[in-house]
Chains A and B, each alone.
Chain A
Amino acid sequence: MKRAGEVGGGPAASGPVYDGPVLRVTGLDVDIRLRRSVVHAVRGVSLEVAQGETVGIVGESGCGKSTLGLALAGLLPVNTEVRGSIRLGDRELAGVGERDLRRVRGTEVGIVFQDPMTSLNPTLRIGVQVGEALRVQEGATKAAARAAAAEMLDLVGLPRPNEQLDRFPHELSGGMRQRVVIAAALVCRPRLLIADEPTTALDVTTQAQIMELFDRLRQTLGMATLLITHDMGVVAGHADRVFVMYAGREAETGRTAEIFDAPRHRYTAALLDSVLRLQTERKSELATIPGRPPDLTVAGAGCPFVPRCPAATAECSAQFPPVSGSGSHHWLCHHPAVQDEDSRVTEAPR
């Protein structure tokens, strides 16, 4: 049990020092029970995040990345079923009761959501909301929480933090509000920060500023970060490793450079193809991925990307691909792509 004033995160105060990955997910399944069907939002996901590392989770809308984030933060609603393992440090989170989950929230795991406009309670002052986790989890006094809040606001780069404490959310701009949300999520110094589309609702300039803030905070506070986004550009500039998701499943994982230079999974390749780059010929057509995302209520046996994949074969429909690759780069594809010298995808040798 932490004493008031002592912040969470980092190695435990007593016992052997744990220095494995901050987060280790193994075989995670998340099913959402709807009125007439079951949505298999996440299937068989395994990933790891080391201390101080930023892992980007990318995929299109509806691929399950937000559900994954909520599962890791222990915030799934009641109509969900979770199977598999979520280890935060040396503690297992999957299947744990609400009371224990509550203790983890804010202290070990902080989460930042997409829309800063609505993530803050419009009738409570900023200072109260930023210091809230401290008061709830560590029984801090109002004064102590307020001081910690001011410190956090300074850390996230808000000018004149002491003045901001008494203001209301609607008095701040979008960028400032997102900083406040980040401050609130980090006030207990959690060891894992989950950021679900943190910049999607912001304009481009503010996006850059917030991402810079994340980088800075990572250096100062040393927390591990899960960056959930559909924006490849954000991932390219700020993630150490990338985890590509499609239809609730892992498609490819690797260091950022590996993924961007040599994508193997057909989906990753198509995604990167569709991103506009400086080298793209001016008059060429915008590449898109044909078709639509699959219906997640159907738990198919084969690879979910088959309907939209240029290299799909009967084998792909019949069996979900095994993990291939080595070192830090893995992919789950029967017919992975191969790049030529110009980094254009060509057909892989069969």
Chain B
Amino acid sequence: MSMENVTTVLSGDEAGGLAEAEASGGWLWLRSFADNRLALAGLVVVVVLTLFSFLGPLFYHTDQIHTRIGMETLPPGTGRPLGTDDVGYDQLGRLMVGGQTTLEVAFGAAAVAVLVGVAWGAVAGYLGGFVDALMMRIVDALLAIPALLLLLYLSAVFQPNVLLLIVVVGLTAWLVPARLVRAEALTLRSREYVLAAKTMGVRTPTLIGRHIVTNSIGTILVNATFQVADAILVVAALSFLGLGISPPATNWGAMLSNGLNFTYSGYWWLTYPPGIAIVLTVVAFNLIGDGLRDAFGLDTRRR
């Protein structure tokens, strides 16, 4: 095992001058990100799948509301690139519709998680002291309960629809961004420009919004992408457990679990298309998140 290859390349200091980075400040991360081929690939995959799901149906019309008896589980053939599922829906069309829901819920839940988490964490970190301690203990307590278990309970109590699903999934996911932003806030609040703004009389909410949050934007963005990835997997797990949305609405996770009932019948087009779609999308978002993290130069241990 040779280790010379891991001893760090000499830092930019010794490389002299500004050889690699001409732009300075603000948009440097974009350039770093663009250099990362894997991250770009992830971005492309996400864009393609989003277009597929939302624009696809405009070109490929199928009926996703009425089931068709006598047309069940037909293998791929002319007129049906991916065959039909167990109640007669066209599978390719279903993949598009399922994609819409999957992506909507994932983005929505991530948005909820980030909004709530950032607000909570920024306030806690900035105020510090007892308020911070209490707010973070609440986070700890919520973190102690596995999200799936909590979701199990909430889904049993409330009949889920898309909006409710977004809210519920988001509300179990805001804890991590809260912790991350709180850590940033703790560091940032003693920076001179924050203290200066404070002495000039800038009010606290503005301080938090303008200084703390904007300077944590890197961490927030990185975490947001991972939130989307996680949300897709959580919704898939929920659908598998039967607690997702009811038909005719569907999502990739539900399609996959449904298809898995037929594994031994050999209907591969019921499982692999949605399954691969899920894995591709989650991998893509993780790659984007990693790429963003590298581009912002953040600590690799924080998600």
Question: Residues on A close to B: CB < 8 A?
Answer: 32, 34, 36-37, 39, 41, 61-64, 66-67, 70, 75, 77-79, 98, 247-248, 292-297
Q: How far is the CB of A114 from chain B (nearest CB, A)?
A: 11
In the assembled complex, B299 has its CB within 8 A of some CB on chain A: no
Q: Is the CB of A296 within 8 A of B17?
A: yes
Q: Is the CB of B17 within 8 A of A67?
A: no
In the assembled complex, B16 has its CB within 8 A of some CB on chain A: yes
Q: Is the CB of A78 within 8 A of B5?
A: yes
Assuming the contacts A32-B10, A67-B10, asked whether A62 and B4 have C-beta atoms less than 8 A apart, the reply is no
Chain B residues near A248: list those with CB within 8 A: 16
The CA-CA distance from A247 to B19 in the complex, in Å, is 13
Chain A residues near B20: list those with CB within 8 A: 34, 36-37
Q: How far is the CB of A37 from chain B (nearest CB, A)?
A: 6
Chain A residues near B192: list those with CB within 8 A: none
- Could you show 23 A-B contacts with beta carbons less than 8 Å apart? A34-B9, A34-B20, A37-B19, A39-B14, A41-B10, A62-B13, A64-B14, A77-B5, A77-B10, A78-B7, A79-B5, A79-B9, A98-B2, A247-B16, A248-B16, A293-B16, A293-B17, A295-B18, A296-B17, A297-B15, A297-B16, A297-B17, A297-B19
Chain A residues near B15: list those with CB within 8 A: 32, 34, 39, 41, 62, 296-297
Residue among B7, B13, B17 making CB contact with A77, cutoff 8 Å: B7
In the assembled complex, B8 has its CB within 8 A of some CB on chain A: yes
The number of residue pairs between A and B whose CB atoms lie closer than 8 Å in the complex comes to: 68
Chain B residues near A75: list those with CB within 8 A: 7
Query: Closest A-chain residue to B18, C-beta based?
Result: A295
The CA-CA distance from A63 to B17 in the complex, in Å, is 10
Chain A residues near B2: list those with CB within 8 A: 78, 98
Q: How far is the CB of B131 from chain A (nearest CB, A)?
A: 31
Q: Is the CB of B14 within 8 A of A41?
A: yes
The CA-CA distance from A77 to B5 in the complex, in Å, is 7
Given contacts A98-B2, A296-B19, 12 further A-B contacts (CB under 8 A): A32-B15, A39-B16, A62-B13, A64-B14, A64-B16, A66-B14, A70-B10, A98-B4, A292-B17, A294-B16, A296-B16, A297-B19
Proximity string of chain B (1-41) to chain A, C-beta cutoff 8 Å, 1 when within and 0 when not: 01011011110011111111000000000000000000000
The residue among B5, B8, B13, B20 with the most chain A CB atoms within 10 A of its own CB is B20
Query: Closest A-chain residue to B5, C-beta based?
Result: A78
The CA-CA distance from A64 to B9 in the complex, in Å, is 14
Q: Is the CB of B9 within 8 A of A62?
A: no
Residue among A70, A77, A98, A295 making CB contact with B19, cutoff 8 Å: A295
The CA-CA distance from A78 to B4 in the complex, in Å, is 5
The CA-CA distance from A261 to B52 in the complex, in Å, is 75
Query: Closest A-chain residue to B4, C-beta based?
Result: A78
Chain B residues near A41: list those with CB within 8 A: 10, 14-16
Query: Closest B-chain residue to A62, C-beta based?
Result: B16
Question: Residues on B close to A: CB < 8 A?
Answer: 2, 4-5, 7-10, 13-20
The CA-CA distance from A98 to B15 in the complex, in Å, is 24
Chain B residues near A79: list those with CB within 8 A: 5, 9
The CA-CA distance from A128 to B5 in the complex, in Å, is 27
Chain A residues near B5: list those with CB within 8 A: 77-79
The CA-CA distance from A61 to B9 in the complex, in Å, is 17
The CA-CA distance from A67 to B20 in the complex, in Å, is 19
Query: Closest B-chain residue to A41, C-beta based?
Result: B14
Q: Is the CB of B14 within 8 A of A77?
A: no
Q: How far is the CB of A197 from chain B (nearest CB, A)?
A: 11
Query: Closest B-chain residue to A32, C-beta based?
Result: B10
Q: How far is the CB of B67 from chain A (nearest CB, A)?
A: 55
Q: How far is the CB of A290 from chain B (nearest CB, A)?
A: 15
Q: Is the CB of B19 within 8 A of A39?
A: yes
Q: How far is the CB of A204 from chain B (nearest CB, A)?
A: 23
The CA-CA distance from A79 to B69 in the complex, in Å, is 65
The CA-CA distance from A34 to B16 in the complex, in Å, is 12
The CA-CA distance from A297 to B14 in the complex, in Å, is 11
The CA-CA distance from A64 to B7 in the complex, in Å, is 18
The CA-CA distance from A67 to B14 in the complex, in Å, is 7
Query: Closest B-chain residue to A67, C-beta based?
Result: B14
Q: Is the CB of A32 within 8 A of B9?
A: yes
Q: Is the CB of B17 within 8 A of A62?
A: yes
Q: How far is the CB of A286 from chain B (nearest CB, A)?
A: 23
The CA-CA distance from A32 to B8 in the complex, in Å, is 12
Q: Is the CB of A77 within 8 A of B4?
A: yes
Complex A-B, nearest 3 residue pairs according to Cβ-Cβ distance, in ascending order: A296-B16, A295-B17, A78-B4
Q: Is the CB of B17 within 8 A of A294?
A: yes
The CA-CA distance from A328 to B2 in the complex, in Å, is 42
Chain A residues near B4: list those with CB within 8 A: 77-78, 98
Chain B residues near A37: list those with CB within 8 A: 19-20
Q: How far is the CB of A291 from chain B (nearest CB, A)?
A: 11
Q: How far is the CB of B295 from chain A (nearest CB, A)?
A: 14
The CA-CA distance from A71 to B228 in the complex, in Å, is 47
The CA-CA distance from A66 to B12 in the complex, in Å, is 12
